[in-house]
A and B are shown apart, each in its own frame.
Chain A
Amino acid sequence: MKTAAQLALDAASVRGVTYADARVVSIRNRSLTTKNGRMGHASESESLGIGVRVIAEGAWGFAASADLSRAAVEVAAARAVEIARASARVKRENVRLAAEPAAVAEWTTPHKVDPFTTSVEQNLDLLLKVDAEMRAVPGVTLAETGMNFQREESWFLSSEGSSIHQTKYSTGAGYTAYAFAGSEIQKRSYPNSFGGHWQNRGYELIEEMKLLENAHRVAEEAVALHHAEQCPEGEATIILDGSQLGLQIHESIGHPIELDRVLGMEANFAGTSFLTLEKLGKLRYGSELVNVVADARQEHGPGLGTFAYDDEGVAAQSTPIITHGRFTGYLSSRETAHTIGATRSGGTLRAEGWNRLPMIRMTNVSILPGEKPLSLEQLIAATDQGIYMETNKSWSIDDKRYNFQFGCEIAWEIKHGKRARMLKNPSYSGITTEFWNSMDAICSRDQWTLWGTPNCGKGQPQQVVGTGHGASPARFRNIRVGSAYQGR
């Protein structure tokens, strides 16, 4: 594989490029689902190929091929150069790359159990038990479970002398119970919705998730929602569970800090950002309690954004994004670092696979937990009136990342420091900076989980990658709730 990458660099260099890198990537996936006691789908997939990225005449070109024969790799490299020269016909200035020392490295995601060494029987047995447990609850009309593993091995070589071999494992699982009755469909998911919980770990994650132990409760809650009161409309104190807060971070912090968005490179599709360059170091993004980092290092945890080197050979880093409420950092790349006066990339360039151009992606964008011990139950006890919301059901935010609306699967009214009645169809909405400035409490490290978002889409052609978001439950004041059902 390394030979193919070197061949591509050689073929590009003889064509007069000023920079080239080549990534050979081999990806293997296993995906299993069940539905109402039967197999939903069972699939394995492999994808192997090379992507060649070059700068010629000051502009980028990229070409990818699944064919790793000498002839095909040389054609791909030549094509990347031809494309770069075409790009140069519509350029305003030459691409500038921040300096980066050449790296020679080997790295593998720390894991206890390679998930691909577990048997399909073992995987299915667990899923079918969870499925049966959910369907044992009267009123459950649909039970769905899923489990996914991925192994991504990559060889990155650059014309500056980098040679990096990485193998990343990710594992995820989750399930949902649906209850249809009358004119309502309600659902509950565990440990998270839309694919469950994911991390860059081995099968040990599955074993730790207590999937079977929670199935009955989750199914009962789906049915019970039919008898719950509608979430009221108005202004309220809300407490969000860690998984929902993770998605809130993803949408209202993670995306707007992407420097390519800020610079207008995503204006046609994903959008731009309200975080224009003059706000760096000045904007009060949130309250004093809000401390957010973008951290790709293993010491931050095994998130979906954890690696040793990004896809242009920059070592994993931790960047302070919000420090005691003040906006302090962007997600950057070698090409964009100079626009914020940085001399080095923040190391966030990643691609979905061999056939996609690496672009700025969230790593693990996490809110740091509170320093004083505070459990969720203690936080609820310290809240006179409010609404506690759990597990995302819908999410939407404008293309500059100001106005958002989230729906959750379930909520409970808080009355005099106690969980009171269950509420269905909870939603909340607001403006990003107003929301984060209203945070007045966050639970401590023992309540903090590094959640995974496996389905983050960006770019044209669109690329889906996983991102990590550490969060513990937190409280927000004077938040608009219930507008999703306004006027009905």
Chain B
Amino acid sequence: MLTKEQAADIFDRIRRFSSADEVEAIFTGSHFALTRFANNTVHQNVEEENSIVSIRTNFAGRTARATVNQFDDESLQRAVTASENLAKVQEPDPDLLPMPTADEANAAGEGARSTRFFEETASITPADRAEVVKRVVSVAGKHKLTTAGIYSNSESGEGIFNSRGLANWHQQTLAEISITMLAEDSSGWQKLNSPDVRNLDPARLAETAAQKAVESAHPREILPGKYTVILEPAAVLDIVGFMFWDYSGVAILDQRSFLNDRIGTKLFGENINIWDDAAHRLQAGSPFDGEGVRRQRVQLVENGVVKRVVYARGTAQKMKNSAYAGKVGPIAPTGHGFPLPNEMGEMPLNIVFEVPDKVFGGPEKPKSVQEMIASTERGVLVTRLWYIREVDPYEKIVTGMTRDGTFLVENGKVQCGLRNFRFNESLISMLSNVEAMSVPVRASGEESFDMVVPAMKVKEFNFTEATKF
């Protein structure tokens, strides 16, 4: 896989090929392997080795990008020329900033961060993955279930170099397991990932998924309506993830954010506190953004009040010069920009929900899912949400389905499995109706990016229809 030294050498060649005022190169390389199983057998098993360089050139306010995955001189020269030709035909953009220097990009410091590269993850072999799948299949067999899922591992490198002296590099590993257990008319699911494979316990995840499949067998149908729901962490992250595109300076400037005219107001319940924190011990990913600027720790929501949004360098400058200045909280680059040029600007991608407990002066003690169930007279326990899409961008209504383990809770106990529901729920309402939260954990779903989130007990969650299973 590409090393920082090899990338630096390639960047030197790219600079020689370019006549642009400024040049930037973003390198991404990975060795990725994934074993996929279904019907208690491995049916797909893949491995990939690839590295790409994405070259951006600047000519006095004009910029464009070209990407290539071959590093011979001819390919690099062709990509440089493509980038330059795309840039040169544009009208100058007066808001385009020079590329950041190393000092500017790294001004925020690296923060206290431990390594995200683990040899134990990188060295997993196809045979190792097969053994783990065997163990999952044996759990399925024990419960007379059928299982499907994936077990993957990767090592990746990501770096950014520019002609103003910036050279940032990040390397990490990731192991991921996702398990579905299927019975005749029910199913259960669990998923987890971590840079360190030793944080994954496949057998325990398989047992939990199996238990959900067994306990939700012969699901009952109940009428849709407003219910108290207990959303497990994966369900929480998949639904709340749909609002974070809006915590962006560009989204405010474009008037496409549900936070337009709402920053500084109390939008959610008092118990909602949200940070973006790339250095958090449960987070993964790169410590710098698409321009190489170090990601800062930013509090987005404090006690239900939306405090601010995140900024790329150029967006912060535009916002300061806009009519919104003074109305949108602090305005400064936060290290959340996407590679330029782009339309979306920036986004917080390392979300951490904070659940202040009494020890630290918070309003209440985190509650486990079991405690949430015990305190619920009638409600629905949700393992996972699926196919979530935005219905209304300003009221932030999203629709979607429950999946793989939906249960009726009555009199403080899980009573039976339920047929799956469709929901149409405003995220503003949902986060105003949170009655209890667990200790946040690293969670992974399929609809949104990984986050550190709690399970949530939410009142008056809006189920509008039920499906046939």
Contact = CB atoms under 8 A, between A and B. Distances in A.
Interface string B68-91: 111000010011001101110111
A485 B137 CA distance: 43
B66 interface: yes
B47 A64 contact: yes
A92 B40 contact: yes
B399 A394 contact: yes
A486 B463 CA distance: 10
A86 B70 CA distance: 30
Contacts of A277: none
Contact of B387 (A264, A357, A399): A399
Chain A interface, DSSP helix/strand/loop, else mixed: mixed
B388 to A, nearest CB: 7
Interface residues of A, number: 88
Given A60-B45, A264-B39, A267-B38, A45 B256 contact: no
A264 B50 contact: no
Contacts of B422: 396, 398, 403, 405, 429
A356 B48 CA distance: 8
A398 B387 contact: yes
Interface stretch (B29-37, B160-168, B196-204, B408-416): B29-37
Contact of B392 (A142, A399, A485, A487): A485
Given A185-B394, A403-B401, A461-B34, A265 B89 contact: no
B156 to A, nearest CB: 13
Contact of A39 (B38, B90, B399): B90
Given A42-B341, A67-B49, A83-B126, A47 B69 contact: yes
Contact of A178 (B50, B75, B256, B390): B256
Contact of A141 (B89, B255, B466, B468): B255
Given A90-B134, A405-B422, A274 B49 contact: no
A141 B260 CA distance: 13
A3 interface: no
Interface string B170-191: 0000000011101000010100
A397 interface: yes
Contacts of A43: 64-67, 86, 341
22 contacts: A38-B91, A44-B65, A46-B69, A60-B42, A61-B126, A141-B255, A178-B255, A267-B180, A268-B178, A356-B46, A396-B388, A396-B422, A398-B420, A399-B401, A407-B391, A429-B465, A461-B152, A485-B391, A485-B397, A486-B424, A487-B226, A487-B464
A46 B76 CA distance: 11
A400 interface: yes
Interface in A61-92: 61-67, 76, 79-80, 82-87, 89-92
Given A41-B341, A43-B66, A184 B255 contact: no
Given A86-B126, A268-B148, A268-B150, A142 B255 contact: yes
A485 B424 contact: yes
A46 B397 contact: no
Contacts of A180: 255-256, 260, 394
B313 interface: no
A124 interface: yes
Contact of B41 (A62, A90, A357, A398): A90
Contact of B42 (A39, A87, A269, A485): A87
Contacts of B54: 45
Interface string B251-262: 000111000100
B342 interface: yes
B293 to A, nearest CB: 19
A39 B59 CA distance: 14
Contact of B50 (A61, A66, A265, A480): A66
A328 B33 CA distance: 37
B394 A264 contact: no
A183 B395 contact: yes
A40 B343 CA distance: 5
Contact of B133 (A79, A90, A124, A265): A90
A277 to B, nearest CB: 14
Nearest to B180: A268
Contacts of A312: none
Interface string B365-381: 00000000000000000
Contact of B90 (A42, A460, A487): A42
